[in-house]
Structure 1
């Protein structure tokens, strides 16, 4: 059986993700400037060889701020996806394994929560706790959790009916052993790809909240905060708004592309 070579789109997506990972972990490899270096003689310069993304109203290099902002933006995306799946695993496995009244109660709660737009749930959390990085992670995670929990429950119910689960129980394995060794790994494995897709979505949502002034606030270099700061000059300095936005879109597309490929490899259920 011959292996299919990765498509050009997949390779480009992988390159984008690698660059973002380098920016998040070791930004000094990609730029020699600091994100807070101010040069009042170089304010609002258009993109050039010296400043590929231009400069902002304080003379700070925008590309440098985008690079350093990768750690915070991707950290929020990963953290929010982790929170969402932690909640989803608890609720989904409880509903799928308990059945009966417990399953019905959790399912009804999830249906009510799922009826609300996820962003509205996130805004509700922020309005209660106030804007901060931790709040954005919790808000986006809670907003995403109902959809993921329904998927987890569906996977648990499907795997419970598999023949190898019944065979393990017939061989005398305890219920806990069956869940730990067979049900949990097989139910969660297809959802790994879905979690990857959720990272890109979480980055976009977190950036949107920061742009609205409800997330990370300037002068932090989180990508949504850069958009928020740049909107004041959008009519005269387009690069402050357009270029960080392009980066957000590229990262979301790249992560989604890799997630779809991973979903295909793992044979996961479509979202």
Structure 2
């Protein structure tokens, strides 16, 4: 099965305008933009046929071309990354699996995406899949601290025994009522901002329009669930790698500290 990775990127982020061009300093002291680091993360994934950055912004497009990346220009009417992926495959046809590697997750390990692709290949009936990572005590406590401070950070997920998602939320679900100690297993799963779709699922997505849950939570994957499409949650392991998304300016030093701690340039 042929695989296309699309990295959606927009300049006009509500929470952090210009986010794709924000520079992050790695372990070697060299600063690279968020979109460049996302591009590097995509190209580290095995078994991928093509990687493109999908954007409607000329500043992002020019920057990507400057470092040798490929750009697919999309309209400014796309409301989220999934719609941008759907628009991209209107011209880049012929791929069996389309991966949406969101441009705000430069710490995404390649094996997260590889596990997602493997799950799609193993189950031809699966229309959409996304990785989930069990929170350790530090990640969960960070989520709880963000919410207590009124910040919207990472997304959490709950799913059934067959692996199908029941819900995603920017609140911390399930409710725990307390923090967790080091080494204590938590019941909370962090949703990793990567999706894999079949082409027909992407095409259907754009025809439904924004759903109520999608609108309130600001989570694009809920549109699939609101329209009866199963989203498979694929558990992945961190293998000692810290993972965090860049959602707010406060996340920049967090991610830079993780890059340095992990020796990532």
TM exceeds 0.5?
A: no
TM-score if structure 2 supplies the norm length? 0.23
TM-score calculated relative to the size of structure 1: 0.23
Q: Which has the higher strand share?
A: 2
More helix by share: 1
